[in-house]
Amino acid sequence: MIHALLRGIDRLVSVPAASAHCDIPCKIYDPSAAQIAALSVIRFMDLINELGQKDSLTLADQALLARLVEQKESHAEKAKHEIRIIWGDYIKQPQRDAYPDIDALVHSIMLAGSACKQGIERDKGEKLLTLINEFAAAFWDTKGVTTFTATCPYPPSETVVYPKLD
């Protein structure tokens, strides 16, 4: 009631606004950033394993290896971060009701992401992507958007869940 009164006063004399300023517009949630990060992780694993085929590494190879490892880890972290944002800011009770396992799924993505930081085994990257694809399918479904799977048209040519936007 006090709020309604204040709103009335606000309409008459215009109460000054105090901005709870955000860096980015809210309500923009899209799991594609996490999917691309997971694809990048797999790609970096492939490139690292390619280097592993060599008998010996030159200084330049070693420098490249250091870069690839660093990028693999930061992209695994980025995938975790992007999922956490959607989970923390977008997923609320209605989405939980529709997907009761969503918390467990997000937790398994966190673990899979960490495993990708620790190791260079491709199957760890594939697992991360699979789980994030599962999350993406659930996410789009909560928004009433249907999805389809396709092979991404670039390396590492893995299966990705995409929203069908007509």
The answer to whether the CB of 108 falls within 8 A of the CB of 133 is: no
- 104: contact with another protein by CB under 8 A: no
Q: How many residues bind another protein (CB under 8 A)?
A: 19
Nearest alpha carbon to residue 129 among 99, 91, 158: 158
DSSP 16: P
Nearest alpha carbon to residue 15 among 7, 27, 26: 7
From the CB of 38, what's the least distance to another protein, in Å? 21
From the CB of 40, what's the least distance to another protein, in Å? 23
Name which of residues 9 to 28 contact another protein (CB under 8 A).
10, 15-24, 26
Out of 33, 85, 105, 115, the only residue in the binding site for another protein (CB under 8 A) is: 85
Binding letters toward another protein, positions 45-84, x by CB under 8 A: ----------------------------------------
Angle between helices 59-85 and 122-142 in degrees, nearest 10 = 30
Nearest alpha carbon to residue 111 among 140, 70, 88, 83: 83
| Site residues (vs another protein, CB under 8 A) | 2-4, 6, 10, 15-24, 26, 85, 88-89
